[in-house]
Amino acid sequence: MLMIRGLFNHLSSRAVAALARRRPVLLRKFIAAANMLAVPGQSWEVAAEEIMIPRYSSSSGGGGRRGRGVAIVWFRNDLRVLDNEALYAAWVSSEAVLPVYCVDPTLFSSTTHYFGFPKTGVLRAQFIVESLGDLKRNLMLRGLNLLIQHGKPEDILPSLAKAYNAHTVYAQKESCSEELSVERAVSKNLEAAIQPFSKSQNATRLELLWGCTMYHIDDLPFNCKDLPDVFTQFRKSVESKSVIRNCVKIPTSLGPSPNVVEWGSFSEVTQLGLQPYKVSKGLKFIGGETAALGRVHEYFWKKDMLQMYKETRNGMLGPDYSTKLSPWLASGCLSPRLIYAEVKRYEKERLSNMSTYWVLFELIWRDYFRFLSIKVGNSLFHPGGPRKLTFNWRKDQKLFDAWRNGQTGYPLIDANMKELSTTGFMSNRGRQIVCSFLVRDMGIDWRMGAEWFETCLLDYDPCSNYGNWSYGAGVGNDPREDRYFSIPKQAENYDPEGDFVAYWLPELRAVPKEKRHSPGLLGVQPVVPLRHGRRTSKSNNNRAGAANTVNK
């Protein structure tokens, strides 16, 4: 196995850009020569620690520390130090901060709602384990630590609040029903934990802060219940009427923590009863804020790929056709506002073009799906989607298994599904293609696909995942109900040499390039006929695909 940390490290960033633009076939061959690629590449720790972290830190902490007592910061999907509103609020309001992460069995040991797939697959679990280890190290560098306890937050947090006499639990606000249910249970149990024991002691408050979008929810030019039903209307409105807030600069010293006897650990997926999985092919993402910052620096500044993003974003093979920031965004290792700040810095110091704007465009899509989840509630997860439409979806398990196992007989579908199961990642283009095939050609319930993605994706978050699947199924916020991706046309446009399918289906390497996308080549006959052989949707080229925003 060949592991390359930074495929293009021996080439200059300009050379990589020129190669991608002028010799795309040669570039794809170069990529295919490597078996497994780490993202980010070489020397990312140095870039993060010496450049990125100091840029978004403060030696003074802004207005300074004004609080008393102990505050708890409950880490959820915000596994970072930089631009973390909850962490900053806990520091300002206290004399001691207790950072906590709850290894919730509801997240790691349960199954999806309708079809019973594992809620968190081993690849995402490993990514979260890596991210927590990195978070712990980064907190320790600032004088804190991370208390890791296994159990439900609604049980753990009230117990800790009582034990440490904490006045507030700070956390990032979420927007979907399962997460909101946990928030309500935590708040209720915090109140109950104090009242029976002390009339003089106030109940610990749960203070939830917004920090998961580029545009802050309080800065929208409308209430979420009045969110436009069409993305373009939303985008034009926020771009013209809203301002993106600056990142919160986190003090370089956050200590002390209260005295804790045992900080706990979550260093192996075996603690969840899962077997460790080693990515042996494709892209291996490294979890944690440090790796996320290293990737931003690598893609924007070192390789200078940001200037080409719009041209290359529909690629499917290699580490640098898109930013690949989505896994870190989904777990909160990276703030969307920090990406915005880096894009604006790049535009000021190097150049501003449609590619630099398009990264922000993708983040606006991500914001839209988050705010949409507030407006439509649980209908986001229902068969008829936000539009409450009625379709006669099939639930054919045999057909679905052929799709998820990459055995449909269509190389482009099968290669994408192999990549997903092997790496936990799939390109934006690939996601749209396999969604269209499952829903339009197979007629399978779109929620089966969405739940399988929930299991597998490193960059899973409920808003983007279900927002995109409902969109692709024609039951979401899409003016066109019957959006369709023609597999032959998609192959012709985005994998004309068959390099992507040959990489994931190596038996095809011996097949002439012009025939690599022919159905049924590998002894698996097509499981269904294609509904439309050549039809494609030009408008999809302008679709954000926020499920893998900044999969950009």
Summarize the annotated binding site for FAD as residue ranges.
309, 322-326, 362-369, 459-461
Report the candidate in 425, 453, 461 with the shortest Cα–Cα distance to residue 117.
Answer: 453
**Sheet with 282-285, side-by-side order of all strands:** 3-4, 36-39, 282-285
**Cα 157 to Cα 163: distance, rounded to the nearest angstrom:** 10
**Cα 364 to Cα 176: distance, rounded to the nearest angstrom:** 19
Burial of 332 (0-12, 13-18, 19+ CB in 10 A): buried
**Cα–Cα distance list, 526 to 55, 405, 494, 521, 529 (Å):** 53, 14, 21, 10, 7
Which residues make Cβ contacts (< 8 Å) with residue 3, sequence separation at least 6?
35, 36, 37, 38, 284
**CB of 469 within 8 A of CB of 447?**
yes
Residues annotated as binding site? 309, 322-326, 362-369, 459-461
Cis peptide before 256 (omega within 30 of 0): yes
Residue located via tokens 């439409």 = 389
CA 123, chain centre distance (Å): 13
**Cα 492 to Cα 487: distance, rounded to the nearest angstrom:** 8
Other C-beta atoms closer than 10 Å to the C-beta of 264 total: 14
